[in-house]
Structure formats: C-alpha cells, structure tokens
Amino acid sequence: MQKFMLMLLVAVLVMASMASAATVWNPAANGIYPPATGNWNDVANWTNGLPVALAPGEVKAVFNVPGAAECVVTDAQTFGQLVQGDNNVGGVIRIQNGGSLTMGVSWSAVGYNNSGCMIVETGGSLVVAGQSGTRFHVGLIDDVADQNDVLFLDGYMEINGEFCLGHEFDGKDSTGAPIVGLVSTAVVNGTLDVDRFVIHTNNCQVDLRRGTIIIDGDQTATIAGYVSDGRLVAFGGDETIVYDLTTNPGRTTVTATKPVDAGVDMITWSGEPVTLDATVRDGVTVVSYAWSAEPNDGVVFSDKTVEDPNVTITKPEPGSILTPVTIVNPGFEDPVLVDGGWTSTPSAWTNGYYDVTAPTVWVVGNSDAGAYNPAAGTDYGGVAPEGDNVMFATSGAGYDRGVRQVLSAKLQANTQYDLSVKVGNPSLYNLAQKGNTTTADYRIELLASGVVVASDTGPSPLDHTTSFITASLTYNSGAGPAQLGQPLEIRILAVNFTTGYGVDFDGVKLTATSPTPDLLTVTLTLVVNDELEDTMTIDVYDDACKAAIIGKGLTADNTGDFNGNCITDPNDLAELAAKWLTGYTMPEPVTKP
C-alpha cells in the first residue's frame, strides 16, 4: 500500500510539473537589449527553451521581465499557452508578415494582470486552436492602476473559443483604488474570426477600423449593445459600426463605414486617361493625400498628392509573356560543398527511380544520385558550368535513376513550357571506376500531378573535355490540359545502362510563355493623412472595343456589328451580303460529335 501511494504521489507531481511547465522571455541573457529586438525562434532568448506543445502538459510562454527587448515572430510557432503581463509588465510581441503563433490550452492572455502589447502585422497570424471553453483574453485582471493592455490586429486572428476583453475586471486595482479610463483596447484593421465575442466592462473597447469581425451565430443584439455603451466603436468613434447575417451565412459579420472612399471600380482601355473620384467624409481635416499602385502595373498618376488625379494605365501589347518558373536550388549549390565534397541530399531534390519493367511508376528511394563539387584536376578541370556544384546521377542496369523536384507552380492553360538542363560526362570518374569513359544517356521529364507531359532523352557528351550540352524540351498545355491547376514537377535521370556510370547535370531552368490576357486589373490605393486608407480597381483592356464587348458586355446592344469592331457600317453590310441566302440546315441526321 505504501509503495502504491508513493508511486501515485510521484505521478501526480510529474503531471503537475508538466502541466505548469513554463519558459520566460528574457533576451537580455542572450545579450539583446532595447531598442534591439529578439526573435521568438532563438532558444537563447528563453529561460527554459522554446515554448512547444508537450502532451499531456503544455509549455507556457511567459512575458514578465521588465525592460525586455521586443519579441518578433517571423515563422510558424506552435505551443501551449501565452501569458503576457504575468505579475509584471509584459512588453511587446510583434508577429510579422509570414509569422504565426498557434496555441491550444484553455486560455491565453495579452495582459494577465499587468500591461502587455501584441501587434499582428499584415501577413501575420495568431490562431487559438482550442475547444469551446477556450478563451483568448485582452486584459484578464485589472490589478495595476496604469495597466494598458493593447492588441493591434492588422493581420489575421482565429479564436476557436472566446475572444474577450476584461474577463475579471472589477474596476479597482490591487489596493482597491478605482481605475479610471480604458484598460484594454483592441484596434482591428485585419480579420478577427471567433466563436464568441465578449467585451465585459466599459474599461474595455474594440476600435474597428479597416478590419472585419466574424462571430458564430446571430450576435446582432449583443453588437448593438456594445455599440450603444461605447465598448465597440468605429475609427475611434468617428464612423459607424455596421453588421449583418448575410455576408457569412449563419455568422455575424461586423465592419465599419470608412471615412475615405477611393471611388467606384472602373473599366477603361490601355492609354486612356481616367479621372478618379475619391470622397473624404465631412469632418475629416485632410493634411495629405497619397495615391499608389503596384510598380509593374503601368500606372501613371497626373499627381499622386491630390484627391482626384487623372490616371493612365498602359497595358502590355497583345502578344506573349515569358515568365521564369521558380525552381528551388536549380544549380545544386545548397548545401555548400568543399572541393571534392559531395552529398546525397541536395536541398529541395529527392532521389528516385523507374524500374524498366514498370517504366511509368516512380519509386521514391535511394538512386545513387546527389550533388558534388568537382575538385581541381578532376572532371571539367574542377569548374562547374554554374556556381561550384553539379548534380550526379549513377546508372543502374534495368533502372532509370535520378532526382526529382515538385514545384510550387501549377500547370496553366494555353502556356508553353520550356525546360532546359546542362548535361555532362564525368569521364575521368567513369574511367577510374569502370575502366571506360562512356556513360549512360540522359533523360529530363516535365510532369504535372505525377503524369509525364513531356520528356527528352539523348546521349551524354563523349567525355569530360567536351563542353556540357543542353538538354531541352517544350510542352504546350493547350486550352484544357487534363492536369490543369496541378503542381508541376521536374525529373532528371541517367537512363538504363551498365551499373555505376555517372552522368552530371547543372543549371536547371523552366520558363512559361503565355498569351497576354485581354484583361489587366490594377488596384489603386488612397491613403489620407498617412492613416486612413481605401482601394479601388480598374479593369484595363487593349482597346475601347474590347472594353465595350468584354468588359461592359455590350455585344447584344449592337447586333448589326457583324465583324465585331464595335462599329456598324458598310463593312458589316458586306459581311451580311457575303452570307446572304446561304443555307445552314442539315440535309440529313448525323452522328452526335
């Protein structure tokens, strides 16, 4: 019995220690002080290692070291719980573009019982992947007279549970003295997607600006109440909160009217000036206007600093656009290798092979392929065609062996793809290993969704003194390829040959050539007073006729325009006369195509 009780006590203590495991943000121990910032992903910035998920307990990330440098989040981080302002000031956490925090314990807080500030920048995200009882607090306990808990949301936040402000606020600090004014504030310029939305006291406020709040169910009565008592405002109270149940069926969508309207979306054609028509709400004192557009969209403003400038957009001439397709590590330079060094795992490429008895089945596995850095005095005089490294594939009797890479690019319609790869023969290696300078043929393949759409097979160079040759292939996708929208893939191989001969490759390139689209859509952004922002779009066509026919859909209004040039004139009469009394009836039934 005593042994059982001892084991039970040990188990309870272990579980308790795991459940309460915590690591504190303290970048000063890593030599980082304000105004410098520290990165969340640097283990040296934490007292007990990086916060991570650790079943059955969860690691808690604690921010409570006075004067600590700002914490920036630049990548994806998953852990248990966040407590900012835990019995001392919580500093600043900034989630940058591309950064994300995902947590999953029953509650987390920005401002537990002391001040904390979280900034979620555009492109950043925070997700609470909890259950129905999970809460994310902005301000949990109001213990400090000058407590200031702030959330600036420009990115995306998803709370699978409750988003709440002031959950245990009583309006008094820890001494019992009354707290006057706002303690917890959330400024929303991004998207806040929650199961439940609660603002507990008048010491808390959500300031909805350019963003959107989406809440499960019909919460219109709750939102109306928050608006009435000033807990939910738009642009600091200068604008109006609006909400509906139709934008996201079954959910309440909350937005704010805007003090700046960049104008209605428009249609024009290349080179034709457009006069913009922005509106700034009465009562806004305008200090500055700033119009902008993407630099490659061909947009020219008559004056970017006035309310309603003229804008001219030049669309690329009808023809085709050649675009490089992104290939990771196309020259096999990652990892960096010393002269004569090699690796079987060049970054972004994986080994595999075909068995000639099943030539369409790609098998993932060791294929004696990789990358190496030719040493001086060896093949190619130790010089690669591009950079330092080349990729090697080793022949195998009865197999086609090499590497592959699945690209981020997807197969597009009406596009010509051109793949090229440099091919070499490491004849000194082959001579030393096999007593012969000959080697296997090469093959390069372009695939979509694992299906070969084009390939090129040919003889490798005669020896290492012969310049690398360029293997190439071309694939035209057509209007409706079967693999439309599926990932592209490249495979590079040494073809079935006596085992052990090398073939080298370098400089993998893939381009996509597509016709210039009829439509170019550009987005124009207006910023007033360096703060108030709105956008509008302009659809740009090649000419006025295409703008009318395609953009405005006016073909039905001009049925006499037989030649489709947007003008009804004698040329259309000639078109009609050429087909006058021509019969198109079928003389007899035919088979359905």
Tens of pLDDT, residues 181-238: 778 999 999 999 999 999 998 889 999 998 999 999 999 999 999 999 999 999 999 8
Phi, psi at 235, each rounded to 5°: 50, 50
Task: Summarize the confidence of residues 539-549 as an average pLDDT.
Answer: 88
Alpha-carbon gap, residue 197 to 220, rounded angstroms: 11
Q: What percent of the chain has pLDDT over 70?
A: 93
Same domain flag for 386 and 452: yes
Of all helices (H) and strands (E), which one includes residue 570? helix 570-578
Residues 424 and 463 in one domain: yes
Residues 234 and 292 in one domain: no
207 is a domain residue: yes
Residue 28 tokens read as 């000063």
**Is 585 within a domain?**
no
Q: Is the pLDDT of residue 132 over 70?
A: no
Rounded mean pLDDT of 484-502? 96
Average pLDDT (150-166) is 95
Domain count, the chain: 3
Are 458 and 384 within one domain?
A: yes
Residues 243 and 342 in one domain: no
Q: What is the mean pLDDT of residues 524-539?
A: 93
Structural domain boundaries, residue 215: 22-257
DSSP 398: T
CA 139 to chain centre: 31
Q: Which two tokens stand for residue 351?
A: 């080994």
Q: Are 134 and 128 in contact (CB under 8 A)?
A: yes
**504 plus 527 within the same structural domain:** no
The per-residue pLDDT for 590 is 65
Asked whether the predicted pLDDT for residue 430 surpasses 50, the reply is: yes
Give the pLDDT of residue 178. 79
The CATH number of the domain holding residue 352 is 2.60.120.260
Could you tell me the CATH number of the domain that includes residue 274?
Answer: 2.60.40.10
Q: Are residues 289 and 251 in the same domain?
A: no
pLDDT digit string (tens) for 247-282? Answer: 999 999 999 998 999 999 999 999 999 999 999 988
In a domain, 7, yes or no: no
Whether 587 is covered by a domain: the verdict is no
Is residue 43 domain-resident? yes
- In this model, does residue 7 exceed pLDDT 90? no
3-state SS of 198-254 is: EECCCCEEEEECCCEEEEECCCHHHHHHHHHCCCEEEHHHCECEEEECCCCCCEEEE
Give the end of a domain, one of 469, 484, 515.
515
- Asked whether the predicted pLDDT for residue 565 surpasses 50, the reply is yes
Helices (H), 416-565: 427-434, 544-546
* Whether the predicted pLDDT of 58 surpasses 60: yes
Specify whether 445 is located in the same domain as 303: no
Answer yes or no: do 228 and 274 share one domain: no
- What is the C-alpha to C-alpha distance for residues 394 and 376, in angstroms, rounded to an integer? 21
Mean pLDDT for the stretch of residues 54-69: 82
Asked if the model's pLDDT at residue 1 lies above 60, the reply is: no
Last residue of a domain, one of 207, 234, 257: 257
pLDDT at residue 289 is higher than 60: yes
8 within some domain: no
Distance between CA 580 and CA 574 in Å, rounded? 10
Q: Are residues 451 and 534 in the same domain?
A: no
21 pLDDT above the threshold of 80: yes
Residue 576: its pLDDT value, please?
A: 74
pLDDT for 147: 83
The pLDDT score that the predictor gives to residue 131 is: 65
Least confident span in 127-131, 433-437, 560-564: 560-564
Least confident of 73-77, 288-292, 312-316, 464-468: 464-468
- Per-residue pLDDT, averaged over 393-406, amounts to 96
**Residue 555 confidence (pLDDT):** 63
Considering the entire predicted model, what is its pTM? Answer: 0.59
Looking at the fold, whether 191 and 55 belong to one and the same domain comes out as: yes
**Which of 496, 515, 534 delimits the end of a domain?**
515
Using DSSP bridges, classify how beta strands 76-79 and 100-103 pair: parallel, antiparallel or unpaired. parallel
554 lies in some domain = yes
Q: How far is CA 414 from CA 323, 398, 417, 515, in A?
A: 14, 37, 10, 7
Q: How confident is the model at residue 17 (pLDDT cuts 50, 70, 90)?
A: very low
Place 54 in a pLDDT band, splitting at 50, 70 and 90: low
Quick one: 307 and 333 in the same domain?
Answer: no
**Does a structural domain hold residue 416?**
yes
Q: Indicate the average pLDDT of the chain.
A: 89
